[in-house]
């Protein structure tokens, strides 16, 4: 059975046809600076408010991540202290990355998720970019199959990715395998740049989702939808 989980932002819930379906595999693609972490944090905020426990694989240290999210209104300190959020930093101080040892990151993360998955309701990977560094297409597709298997057991997985992380064939497989696929970008409106979110795929919504929306990340109010036509975005 699929539940609809509010993101905690009424405007975004409306755009998404009610909220995020759970369980589901959610993929958020976009270049640097397009708001991937903000959108994933908004979804994460809703899951936390709905009493979901999450395993969070992050690029930075835990302190850096919590501080960064707090700067855009998402305060994950309390759920972290309560162990509702378990953070796994990919960052390792003074580590020397080589082609050989970066190949081991993806299988190591997969193994860790497998060990912890029974104790959490979902997984957030923000972002998968450093994890798939030097991974071949087959390893990535195997990980995708692993994620689908986890979702089939009632867990929600949210992954953010840079647009250049995957080959075209792999990206096509990702769109096919995911329940929700969101593509982020930017457009210039007048003299102002705003972020955009296009809904490429959205299964399990309560109501019909919109095609997408433009938004800003406000340091006081969080994510604010901007009234801009998405027809030419």
Task: Using the Cα atoms of residue 216, residue 220, residue 223 and residue 227 in order, give the sign of their dihedral.
Answer: negative
pLDDT tens for each residue of 4-28: 999 999 999 999 999 999 999 999 9
Region 31-48 average pLDDT: 95
Is 0.75 topped by the overall pTM? yes
Q: Please report whether residue 232 resides in a domain.
A: no
* Dist. CA 60–CA 92, nearest whole Å: 9
Q: Please report whether residue 195 resides in a domain.
A: yes
* Dist. CA 139–CA 9, nearest whole Å: 36
Task: Using the Cα atoms of residue 16, residue 213, residue 177 and residue 58 in order, give the sign of their dihedral.
Answer: negative
Q: Please report whether residue 23 resides in a domain.
A: yes
Rg (CA), the chain: 17
Retrieve residue 154's tokens: 């009632």
Structure-token match 């991974």, residue found: 135
CATH number at residue 170: 3.40.50.300
Give me the domain span that covers residue 109: 3-226
pLDDT tens for each residue of 87-138: 999 866 655 666 666 678 888 899 999 999 999 999 999 989 888 877 888 8
Count how many domains the chain has: 1
Answer whether 35's CB lies under 8 Å from 163's CB: no
- What integer pLDDT is reported at residue 201 of this predicted model? 96
CA nearest to 117, candidates 143, 147, 141? 147
């Amino acid at each position: 059975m699929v539940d609809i989980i509010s993101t905690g932002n009424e405007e975004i819930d409306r755009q998404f046809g009610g909220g995020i379906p759970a369980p589901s595999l959610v993929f958020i693609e976009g270049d640097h600076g397009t708001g991937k972490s903000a959108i994933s944090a908004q979804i994460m905020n809703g899951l936390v408010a709905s009493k979901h426990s999450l395993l969070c694989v992050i690029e930075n240290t835990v302190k850096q991540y919590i501080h960064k999210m707090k700067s855009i209104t998402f305060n994950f300190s309390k759920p972290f202290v309560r162990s509702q959020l378990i953070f796994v930093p990919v960052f390792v101080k003074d580590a020397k990355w080589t082609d050989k040892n970066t190949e081991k990151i993806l299988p190591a993360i997969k193994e860790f998720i497998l060990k912890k998955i029974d104790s959490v309701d979902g997984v957030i990977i923000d972002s998968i970019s450093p994890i798939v560094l030097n991974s071949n297409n087959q390893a990535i597709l195997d990980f995708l199959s692993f994620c689908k298997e986890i979702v089939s057991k009632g867990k929600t997985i949210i992954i953010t990715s840079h647009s250049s992380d995957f080959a075209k064939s792999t990206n096509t497989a990702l769109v096919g395998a995911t329940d929700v696929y969101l593509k982020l970008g930017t457009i210039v409106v007048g003299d102002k740049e705003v972020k955009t979110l296009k809904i490429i795929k959205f299964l399990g919504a309560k109501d019909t989702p919109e095609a997408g929306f433009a938004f800003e990340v406000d340091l006081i109010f969080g994510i604010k939808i901007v009234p801009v036509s998405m027809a030419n975005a």
